[in-house]
Amino acid sequence: MRVIQILRRRPLLPALAMALGALVMLAAADTAGCTASAHNDTPANYCYQVQIEITNATGADIGPGDMVRVEIPASTWIANGLMDERAWDILPIQSIVPNEVTLTAQELTASDAGWWIDTASVPDGTTGTVTFLMGNSYQRRDQGIMFTGGEYVRGTDHSDYDQSSMILDIALTLTDDTPRSQGIVDHRISNTGYSVQLLDFGGLQLSYAVDAASCELAWQSAWTGTRQEFSFRYTSPNATIYRNGTLAKTCALTQGAIDNAAVDYWIGCFENGAGACNAAFMLDGAFIQDVKYSSPTAVRSHYSFDARQMVETSSVNPFAGTITDLSPNAHTTVYSFNRPQTGITATVGAVQLASLVPAAAPSGALSNLTGPAFGTSIATPVAESGAGPIYDLILDPTADALPASPRQMTFAIMLTVIGWVFALYVYKRTRYIPLTLFLLGTPLAVGGIQGWVPWWWVFLWVILVIGAWWATRSGEAPAGG
């Protein structure tokens, strides 16, 4: 009866309760990364996932570096809001999140775009699974082209490629540091022009050639497997090589301005002297993400291999396409990928919520038939969720600012403070203690569901509150006579 009387005297109270409930739902919404989240290393930080099954019937194992072509409904995913319009928000993995694999997306306006995936390992006669996690605006995938000995990029000869002084910036990752001689970037013939290549000369070297002279930098094994950003510069008579912004080598060469080279511009290969790629020097075991060529005053060509700049023009081996120049000069290049796909079948599954389906659980893992841990055991920890504005704006920054404090203890304190804000406001408006206590505990309950606070803490807090309320009421009751 007292509740009814309160509601009659305060008709805005139900609206207030609904507003507070909506706020709690917003804070706890398990959007799996649909809201902006600075974390991008777990499936819970993403909105969607799609599994791609790769069946290998080639007669040989598919290993790291072997690229598999998969037709992706890119335009449909973008139109339906499942994927970023640049394909930057994808985390491609095999089995578990740390196992990220290489992905080259392209032709985002097509409903059957030919994308390339490095499946890492699919033995002959088996089926492997690659999972795309999508929908995290903080995932900034920087793609490139994996060169495996059958690929090249070619630009038609132009005066913009011929500068008397030059800067050539290349971002690449070598997956194999075996000494070998292969082309990285080439615009050089008959000792005129410039080139950057891998060189087998007493170990693996980076060789920067300008006309008839060259400057070598020894490759260090510590660089292998990680992105390296090199800048090859020449202003007569000095050639310099920078690595990750630091000067690594200076060579005083013996010629003046760079001579113009009447030859095409190649990435991943050398010109063979007859207008074609020299297959003996095609680049292998390298992932190139960016190639930018400049004069001292302006960018002359720039290829970042972004999905929006790449379009496939032939879907049969050798696969072909175009790559748009990001500079104002519009020097579109063509690519050729010699990657046989006979015996390989790729099947793209349906896009599903990342929060509902395990992301490619490792083989041997058992499915959880009981659903999430909520309600199963107060001693069973729930995985911390990184979803919701309260997590992003309050909880996570506070926990990061207090590294010496256990995260869940910090979360419990902050959620209790939030609960007191709700509780004091409601008590001031209603003077009704049960409703006040309910609002005080709601943030902690949300924290238990989201994995921010252990359930045993919530359970102890409930016992404490009920006990305190019972003791208070018992003390107020008149003594029996």
β pairing state of 204-210 and 213-218: antiparallel
Residue type, 451: G
237: preceding bond cis by omega (within 30 degrees): yes
Q: In this structure, is residue 259 part of a structural domain?
A: yes
CATH code of the domain containing 201: 2.60.120.200
76-85 long-range contacts (CB < 8 A, ≥24 apart) are 76/111, 77/134, 77/351, 78/108, 82/47, 82/48, 82/134, 82/135, 82/351, 83/48, 83/134, 83/135, 84/134, 84/135, 84/137
Q: In this structure, is residue 43 part of a structural domain?
A: no
Residues whose CB is less than 8 angstroms from the CB of residue 474 and which lie 6 or more positions away in sequence, other chains included: none
Q: In this structure, is residue 481 part of a structural domain?
A: no
Q: Rounded CA gap, 449 and 451, in Å?
A: 6
Q: In this structure, is residue 122 part of a structural domain?
A: no
pLDDT digits (tens, 9 = 90+) for 73-115: 999 999 988 998 999 989 999 876 668 899 999 999 999 999 9
pLDDT digits (tens, 9 = 90+) for 122-143: 999 999 999 999 988 777 788 9
- Structural domain for 164, as ranges: 160-171+178-280+290-295
Q: Which helix (H) or strand (E) holds 85?
A: none
Tell me how many domains the chain contains: 2
Residues whose CB is less than 8 angstroms from the CB of residue 311 and which lie 6 or more positions away in sequence, other chains included: 106, 107, 321, 322
Q: In this structure, is residue 378 part of a structural domain?
A: no
Q: In this structure, is residue 7 part of a structural domain?
A: yes
Q: In this structure, is residue 133 part of a structural domain?
A: no
137 half-sphere exposure, CB direction, 13 A CA radius: 7
pTM of the predicted model over 0.75: no
Q: In this structure, is residue 449 part of a structural domain?
A: yes
DSSP bridge partners of 198 = 182, 206
Of how many residues is the chain composed?
Answer: 481
Q: List the chain residues with pLDDT less than 50.
A: 1, 3-4, 7-8, 11-16, 18-33, 35-36, 357, 359-377, 379-381, 481
